[in-house]
Each structure stands twice: as C-alpha cells, then as structure tokens.
Structure 1
Amino acid sequence: MTAREQQDELPELFVIVASADDAGALAPLAARDPEVCPVLVATGPDPMAVDEALDDLGALAGRVLLVDDPEAGPVAEVAALLPRLDALVADDRPAALLVRGGSVTALVATQAAVWRGVPVVAVPVDGGDTVASANQAAIGALVASQEAHDTAPDDVRAAAAAHRLSRERLTGGDRPRVVRLPTHRTLSA
C-alpha cells in the first residue's frame, strides 16, 4: 500500500482556519500523522486571505468555504457559513473537527459539528474582545454537551488524535484545556 493510499484510509480531522492569525497558529497541524488525516478548511470572513496565509506557510487548504461579502459583518458571515459548514460536515463526515478561539466561524462550525454528532476539539485563545470571549464560552458549552449516541470508534480515535496533535504541535497558549470526547471521558491538557 502506498503512503497516499494509507493517508486516504485515515479518518479525517477538519481544522477550521477562520483568519490569518488562525493560519499562523494552526498550520503545524497540516503535517502528516499516522492516526488522522488533517484537512485545513480555509474559511471565515475572508477565506481567500486565509488560503493565501496558509499557502505562504506551506500548509495547503484542503477545502475553501467562501462568503459572499467579506466586509458584510458577522450576521452575514453566519448566514453564509452556517449552511456551508453544515453541508461540509454532513457530506464529508469528518471523524472530528478542531476550532480555535471564539470567532463567529468557530462558533458556527462547532454548532454544525455538534448537530451532526461530530466530536469537536476546541483550542481556546486568551484575550480578545467580549464577543470572542462569549463565543468561546458558548463553544465550550456546546463541546461539553456532546452526547455519545452512535459514535464510531474512528471518531473517538480522531478526537483523541486531534487533542494529541494540538498538544504536540501548537505553541504556548494554543492548547486545549478540556476536550469532551463522545465517550463521556474528559481529557485535560
């Protein structure tokens, strides 16, 4: 079996990259891993800038989700991204999803994944404005509420692999504090 064929058989981890700042922090997750196939999803209010930032870092986006007008604001961002992220999660069915911080995109991606029963790994970011802090708290609550109904073993392994990758590859404060796995077991970093 070739390396490519082996990589194709691994469960996918969707890494939601919502800003150039996220690109800088999450690019190290794009490297190959023996347990999970990380797929960077360039999105957010300006997904083309995110894609360009990832390209500059040598981490290519596996998916790009566009918005209609990057300047339209958070309500338009939610209106555009919620159906697109939901369709992405429903159609491609990743084994797990990783979000960073408290952006509107991270919140919407978490909602779509939780609705679809996909385990979420949330990487908190210190600081930020009041809205980002509130979104980050909502993301934490959504992740904590996930139930273990009909969870595939690959999903549990992918969530654990995502947690491991974030510990090993992300720097400083970009590490998950608590990750709720769908087995109702909690991992602490």
Structure 2
Amino acid sequence: MTAREQQERSLPELFVIVASAEDAHALAPLAGRDHEVSPVLVATGPDPMAVDEVLDDLGALAGRVLLVETPEEGPVTELVALLPRLDALVADDVPAVVLVRGGSATALAATQAAVWRGVPVVAVPVTGTVAVDTANQAAIAGLVASQEAREVEPELVRAAAAAHRLVRERPEPGSGSRVVRLSAHRGLSA
C-alpha cells in the first residue's frame, strides 16, 4: 500500500447521500479526494441503480450502493424502507459526517439515522421544491440544530468543518452560488 493510500484510509469518512439523479449532478464534484476527509458517495433512494448509473456517467463512482425494496411509490414507504438500511449503514461503517441534500425522504431518513447515532450532519438545502420536501428540509434543519447541544469529539468537528468547506468550494453545476446551513458546533469556531 502506498503512503497516499494509507493517508486516504486514515482520513475520516464523509458519507454523501445521493438519492436522485438531481443529487448526483449536484454532489458528484464532492467525490474527489480531500486532504481532511474521504468523501464516500452513497447511491440510494427509490432507484439506487439509476443513481449509480448517473454517478458513473459523471465519472464519480459510488463507494456504496444501498439497495432497498420499496413496495409502493411515495415518501412514506420510501422513508419506512430506507430508515433501517441507512441506520445500519451508519451504525456499521461509522462515518465522521453525513451530508444530505434537499428534503427527500432519503435525506430525512439519513439525517435521522445519523443524529440518532451521534454523527454530525451537513444539510444542503434546495429551493423550489414541493411542499413535502420543504417540510422535510425544515425537519432536517431541526435535527441538525439538535446536534448543537451535544458535546462533539474534536475529530468530528474537524471533519464537519471540512465537509462544509467542500460544499462551499464546489458549487452546484448550473445554479450559481448556494446557501449551506452550517451547524453551530461550539468547537467549530475554535
């Protein structure tokens, strides 16, 4: 194993939850290696294979593909199907940070699992969404805010700060600048 591979293995992992083709286009630039975190694209959502295919077309390979059987369409069945799978992924792999985009049921499930497991979440809001997605984004923001009261390990604070930097530095294709909700971890400003 080369020195670079050893360094990449020792970096904290940033799970980037990619739940749709739209997410893939927006989040694919985060796939590149970074000196502070190791981004891992997680292709999931109602059609994870389609998400994986879009990521492949963009040259950003998914580090994980989370397959889920969803019997019916809709945000409720998506949430019910994804929550235990995303919780197991976060519990087993223990990422340093989870990054979600928008207010899909997948983003909400990933946020709930991460918060439950004590993993910091970075949420990238999306404007112009349907009402349920807007409500989910508000719930995600509330869950992220609930993390502020917890005492967080310094390594996790650094990883969360690196995730915020990555999002700020790599703008979403075709949309210009965007606003990123930053959590107010006490240690983040130190």
TM-score when normalising by structure 1: 0.91
Q: Which moved further from structure 2: 62-71 or 89-98?
A: 62-71
Q: 1:137 to 1:46 in 2, by over 3 A?
A: same
Listed as ranges, the gaps of 5+ residues in structure 2 are none
Say if 2:181 is the partner of 1:178: yes
Query: Could you tell me which amino acid in structure 2 is paired with residue 101 of structure 1?
Result: G
Q: Over residues 7-36 of structure 1, what are the superposed CA-to-partner deviations in whole Å (9 max), with x where a residue is unaligned? A: 000000000000000000000000010000
Say if 2:160 is the partner of 1:159: yes
Q: Contact 2:168/2:180 (CA < 8 Å) preserved in 1?
A: no
Q: Contact 1:159/1:181 (CA < 8 Å) preserved in 2?
A: no
Name the structure where helix makes up a greater proportion of residues: 2
Per-residue deviation at 1:72? Answer: 3.2
Q: Contact 1:95/1:119 (CA < 8 Å) preserved in 2?
A: yes
Q: Aligned residue for 1:139? A: 140
Q: Contact 1:46/1:70 (CA < 8 Å) preserved in 2?
A: no
Question: What secondary structure is seen at the aligned counterpart in 2 of 1:7?
Answer: helix
Q: What is the distance in 2 between the residues matched to 1:81 and 1:113?
A: 13
Per-residue deviation at 1:76? Answer: 2.0
Per-residue deviation at 1:174? Answer: 6.7
Question: What secondary structure is seen at the aligned counterpart in 1 of 2:98?
Answer: strand
Q: Contact 2:20/2:45 (CA < 8 Å) preserved in 1?
A: yes
Question: What secondary structure is seen at the aligned counterpart in 1 of 2:182?
Answer: strand
Question: What secondary structure is seen at the aligned counterpart in 1 of 2:147?
Answer: coil
In the alignment of these two chains, the number of paired residues is: 186
Say if 2:97 is the partner of 1:108: no
Q: Aligned residue for 2:36? A: 35
Query: Could you tell me which amino acid in structure 2 is paired with residue 91 of structure 1?
Result: D
CA RMSD in angstroms, aligned pairs only: 1.8
Question: What secondary structure is seen at the aligned counterpart in 1 of 2:33?
Answer: coil
Q: Percent identity?
A: 70
Q: Contact 2:157/2:188 (CA < 8 Å) preserved in 1?
A: no
Q: 1:173 to 1:87 in 2, by over 3 A?
A: farther
Per-residue deviation at 1:42? Answer: 0.3
Q: 1:138 to 1:149 in 2, by over 3 A?
A: closer
Per-residue deviation at 1:78? Answer: 1.3
Q: Contact 1:148/1:184 (CA < 8 Å) preserved in 2?
A: no
Question: What secondary structure is seen at the aligned counterpart in 1 of 2:14?
Answer: strand
TM-score when normalising by structure 2: 0.91
Q: 1:92 to 1:182 in 2, by over 3 A?
A: farther
Q: Aligned residue for 2:6? A: 5
Q: Contact 1:123/1:177 (CA < 8 Å) preserved in 2?
A: yes
Per-residue deviation at 1:149? Answer: 3.9
Q: What is the distance in 2 between the residues matched to 1:174 and 1:20?
A: 20
Q: Aligned residue for 2:74? A: 73
Q: 1:158 to 1:174 in 2, by over 3 A?
A: farther
Say if 2:92 is the partner of 1:91: yes
